[in-house]
Amino acid sequence: MSELRKPLPLYEKAIRWIKIYGDPLTIWIGNRPIVICSTKESFKDIAGPLRNILGGRMQSNLGDLQKRGFEDVLFSDFSPAWDVLRRVAHVAMRKYAKSEKLAQLTALRVDVETNDLFSTAKCTKDKNGNPVAIGGATEFIENIMTSVIAVSAFGAGFERDNPDFETLRKLALIFETEAPNGLPSDVMPILGWIFFRQENLVRKTIETFTSLTDRWFEAAKKSHQPGDTRHFTDALLNARDEFLADNRDSAKYLIDNNLRQAVFDIFGAGIGTTKTILTYCFLHLANEPNIQDELRDEIVQAIGHTAVCSSTDRRALPKTTAFIQEVIRYHPAAPLALPRTALADVTINNRFIPKGTNVLINLYANNRDPDIWGQDATEFRPNRFLTASKEQLSLGLTSFGIGARSCPGEKMAQADILYVVVRTLQNVRLSCIDGPGTADMESINSDILLDAKRQNMVFTRVPV
């Protein structure tokens, strides 16, 4: 426990510890052992032969609060119900992520948020007469992604004066400040009593959040027409129909309550993941104007100043895509992923792990492993992805997880991030308030999240 109290986050401590104790290693939190895997050798085992055996999920109070007695994709343990639900969610997600509706929606929300930013009384002009505004990078992104993912998930759109929109913003801030490491009782049961105010506040926050998403899901389901794909709820209901046509035995797993939980997973996790990655995208762009100019030039040459970026434009934007992949590599939103459980006795990297052991996958360590990325692995260098090898792409870019528990929303998140970055650079120039190189890249104090600290930046309109 004394080692755990040191200021470095757990995912960075583990990188130091494996040099002494090897990988994987075991830490003890109270009377509970947890194994941390941090090297490519362990990752090869987990993504390969142990893919399903390490597909269990550590049970937690946080997970139980969100599941409410039903099955979901994120927190349910490995079971036939989880497997069917995950496969149906994957089918629905792939179909919606390719939809041009998502591209159009994202561009619209970036435009709305940009126009709102420059319509405030604080807006000034630079020496060339271009509008200039100062705003929070995280808040700008939160406003965009909350609306994009709400419409994507349920067809429910929000403006700033919508009570639900404001409620979501408040809930997200409470969770960020009060539960950066989850529920205290999940670390040790007694901590739930010691930190009763915090525990109770987070529980109420989750209950409020689930009541909102329940209402939106019911409204979306009520207006659903078979074959329509207005949003992810539609896509999921259609995927269920297709699945049941081939396998009626799955009906008991694909009940409405379980589908609702799957949509809740995509909505809640989607906002957090994309917010983190996009915030770091903005910070790096503001920090390094040369990179920003290079990407904007590529975007304008490929699709112009005003055209909406679509899924087919990715190949025409190699530098922009490489930049985004480097941000994803360098700043994994959930650096240790969600804890797994070994479903049987296993051997990881020649070390025995008994059945029932909880396992953390150190995505942060693997993404910065010099054995995969070379001696500059700890440097931020986007152009590495222009020449990345197959091994680097398969083993060294694991921010969305590996094996059976990889993130089902990766395709949609990747699309959202590309669309927001492109549209933002078409609209504005991002700058650090104190000049290039002064953005605060430190993360909040958390062992399980890699959220950037909230900070203001300068937004300057790009003349068309």
Of 158, 174, 176, residue with least CA distance to 166: 158
- The CA distance from 20 to 23, in Å, is 9
The DSSP result for 115-134, as a single string, is HHHHTSTT-EE-TTS-EEEE
Q: How far apart are CA 61 and CA 356, in angstroms?
A: 17
Classify residue 258 by burial, with Cβ atoms within 10 Å: 0-12, 13-18, 19+: buried
Helix, coil or strand: residue 349: coil
Distance CA 301, CA 403 (A): 38
Contact (Cβ atoms closer than 8 angstroms) between residue 38 and residue 14: yes
Bind-site residues: 407
Give the chain's length.
464
Contact 309, 418 (CB under 8 A): yes
Let me know: does 237 contact 157? Beta carbons within 8 Å.
no
Task: Report the candidate in 145, 457, 112 with the shortest Cα–Cα distance to residue 275.
Answer: 145
Note whether 292 and 429 are within 8 A (CB): yes
Feature table: binding site for heme: 407
DSSP string over 221-273: HHT--TT--SSHHHHHHHHHHHHHHH-GGGGGTS-HHHHHHHHHHHHHHHHHH
Phi, psi of 326 (to 5 degrees): -70, -40
- Phi, psi dihedral angles at 237 (to 5 degrees): -65, -40
Q: At what angle do helices 163-178 and 196-222 cross, to 10 degrees?
A: 140
Nearest to 153 by CA among 272, 281, 319, 266: 266
